[in-house]
Amino acid sequence: MATIPDSTKASFHQRLTEHSRRRWPQLREIHLRYRAGFAYIDGVLPDGEVLRLCRLRYGGSARNWGFAIRLLLSRS
């Protein structure tokens, strides 16, 4: 599995943060975590509750990602 370059992580974080401000104003912020070739995206509500939103699989370029929704059952 391809490792996500630091430059891709930085640009992806910036893009996602800007998008979330426009499209999801109810979120206070977006948290990104990276592990191997995956990016895990969490949304934070104004009261501090963290919503685990999705996991993306890096496909080898900044514009090529696979998508998986995080189910409520997988909150741990």
Question: Which tens digits make up the pLDDT trace of 44-66?
Answer: 999 999 999 999 999 998 889 99
Distance CA(57)–CA(76), nearest Å, equals: 19
pLDDT of residue 76 exceeding 60, the answer is no
Q: Give the per-residue pLDDT at 50.
A: 95
Distances in Å between the alpha carbon of 60 and those of 44, 51, 65? 28, 27, 8
pLDDT at 62: 84
Task: Specify the pLDDT at position 73.
Answer: 62
Beta bridge partners of 38: 35, 57
**CA 35 to CA 28: how far, in whole Å?**
24
pLDDT, tens digit (0-9, with 9 covering 90-100), for 20-49: 999 999 999 999 999 999 999 999 999 999
